Amino acid sequence: MPRRRLLYLHDGKSLYDLFFLNFLKGHFDVVFGTFSRSGASSIARQTGLRTVFLGGPPLELPVHDMVKALLLSPLRTFRLKFPPVPLDADLTLACWATTYGVCTYAAGIRPYGLVTWGSDVLIHPSYPPLRVMASQAIKGSSRIYVDSRAELKAVVGLGAQARKVVSFPRFDLEYVKGHMAAKEACKEKLGLKGREVVIFDRAHDPVHDPLTMIEAIPDIVSGHPDVVVLIAGAGRLTRAMKFRASSLAVAGRTMFLGHLTRGELLDYVGASDVYVSTSRSDGTSSSLLEAMALGAVPVVTSIPGNLEWIEEGVDGFLFPVGSSVELSRKVKTLLESEGLRNGMGETALATVRERVDWASSSQRFLASLSEMMADRL
């Protein structure tokens, strides 16, 4: 019996895309469709899947550039309705409600499951046109996949029927276990022996507020000659971050690592003592769960998505959005006590082990996809 066909629509620029696609290709004949040229080539190279570039502007569109995405929606809808090659599938998964989700809805593709990404349901709906788009994508979908209570509440508020919502963390602890090693061994491997390491690995864009991280560095390293701050990733604020680090005279204590493969990033997280996220909005962050699993104690913003995982002073620290002063104070508290770091790190790992079970979540995911296909018949 031939395997069922699944069309997966997104930009292909996220680790979540690789996470889903590598899982799904073991169960379906998967085609990856995208409006991103670089996403098409990246996914083809990393997964071996058939990819279809659906067309787009000459210059690559930043993932979070919603003004241009809004203007391009009619053209994108047309290209989905009349693709350059047939996209016949038994089921479609559309990612990001206010882009691929609403275009899938408007193109009349049915049935489709909607994978929410965080900002598309937590931030964008505060703007009326984007709220309408998110609501249409949600109401037209057969299932909505969220990763946190914050996103669940948001999609229900946008018109989702609770019975259609499937919630689970997008995280496989078994994969991360392959990178678990003694912290000092990780540091020696990466040339960080004898250093206290703080890492920031969120995308360099406004929603993740990386400049707050940079503003906190002078106070973090003051009085701690062995501390080094690692900045992984890239984005439209990378240049501003480097310029600000230079003007604050902390460039010598800060290492900009650029884009890393997931394996490389996990090695650096495993070598880190403290993990920082300054994000203004998140569901369940896989980078947070990775840090908790690898012994880097989290210091993260006190937003709903993080509050689902971090208990203040137990398995991490929380600070107000945009407060570099509180961020640096919490980080320094951890740097000044190895015993506190070790204790909180062990508790954080226990939290992840207790609450994350991809074996169970993946079966619920597959069952819901089968239900959608059955509804189509």
pTM of the model: 0.92
CB of 351 within 8 A of CB of 288?
A: no
Distances (CA, A) of 132 to 128, 137, 152: 6, 9, 18
pLDDT at 62: 64
What is the distance between the terminal CA atoms of the chain, rounded to a whole angstrom? 17
* 261 CB burial (10 A radius; 0-12, 13-18, 19+): exposed
CATH of residue 55's domain is 3.40.50.2000
Q: What is the 3-state secondary structure of 221-236? A: HCCCCCEEEEEECCCC
Per-residue pLDDT of the chain (377 residues; tens, 9 = 90+): 578 999 999 999 888 899 999 999 999 999 999 999 999 999 999 999 999 999 876 666 666 667 777 888 999 999 999 998 888 899 999 999 999 999 999 999 999 999 999 999 999 999 999 999 999 999 999 999 999 999 999 999 999 999 999 999 999 998 898 888 888 888 999 999 999 999 999 999 999 999 999 999 999 999 889 999 999 999 999 999 999 999 999 999 999 999 898 889 999 999 999 999 999 999 999 999 999 999 999 999 999 999 999 999 999 999 999 999 999 999 999 999 999 999 999 999 999 999 999 999 999 999 999 998 887 65
| H/E segment holding residue 102 | helix 102-106
Least Cα distance to 27 among 377, 370, 376, 371 occurs for 370
Give the range of the structural domain holding residue 50, as residue numbers without chain letter: 5-171+357-376
pLDDT at 1: 53
For residue 350, the SS3 value is helix
For residue 27, the SS3 value is coil
Asked whether residue 118 falls in the same domain as residue 239, the answer is: no
Least Cα distance to 35 among 91, 83, 2 occurs for 83
pLDDT at 63: 60
Asked whether residue 345 falls in the same domain as residue 363, the answer is: no
pLDDT at 22: 95
Could you give the CA distance from residue 34 to residue 76 in angstroms, rounded to a whole number?
10
Asked whether residue 157 falls in the same domain as residue 185, the answer is: no
Q: What is 76-96 written as a DSSP string?
A: HHHHHHS-SS----SEEEEEI
| Token output for 76 | 């994108």
Which pairing describes strands 143-146 and 112-115: parallel, antiparallel, or unpaired?
parallel
Asked whether residue 59 falls in the same domain as residue 126, the answer is: yes
pLDDT at 72: 85
Could you give the CA distance from residue 99 to residue 107 in angstroms, rounded to a whole number?
12
CA dihedral sign, ordered 157, 161, 162, 165: negative
Largest CA distance in the chain: 67
Asked whether residue 328 falls in the same domain as residue 368, the answer is: no
Asked whether residue 218 falls in the same domain as residue 344, the answer is: yes
For residue 148, the SS3 value is coil
61 CB contacts (<8 Å, ≥6 apart)?
Answer: 35, 36, 68, 69, 72
Asked whether residue 286 falls in the same domain as residue 361, the answer is: no
Which pairing describes strands 196-200 and 274-277: parallel, antiparallel, or unpaired?
parallel
Asked whether residue 145 falls in the same domain as residue 262, the answer is: no
Asked whether residue 294 falls in the same domain as residue 328, the answer is: yes
Could you give the CA distance from residue 86 to residue 227 in angstroms, rounded to a whole number?
55
- CA 232-353-291 angle, 5° bins: 15
Asked whether residue 157 falls in the same domain as residue 180, the answer is: no
Residue with tokens 């809808």: 77
pLDDT at 377: 54
Asked whether residue 278 falls in the same domain as residue 207, the answer is: yes
- Look up residue 187 and give its DSSP letter: H
Q: Structural domain tally of the chain?
A: 2
15 CB contacts (<8 Å, ≥6 apart)?
Answer: 262, 286
User: Number of C-alpha atoms within 13 angstroms, CB side, residue 251?
Assistant: 10
344 dihedral zone (left: phi>0; alpha: psi -120 to 50; beta): alpha
Could you give the CA distance from residue 109 to residue 107 in angstroms, rounded to a whole number?
6
| H/E segment holding residue 196 | strand 196-200
pLDDT at 190: 93
Asked whether residue 196 falls in the same domain as residue 332, the answer is: yes
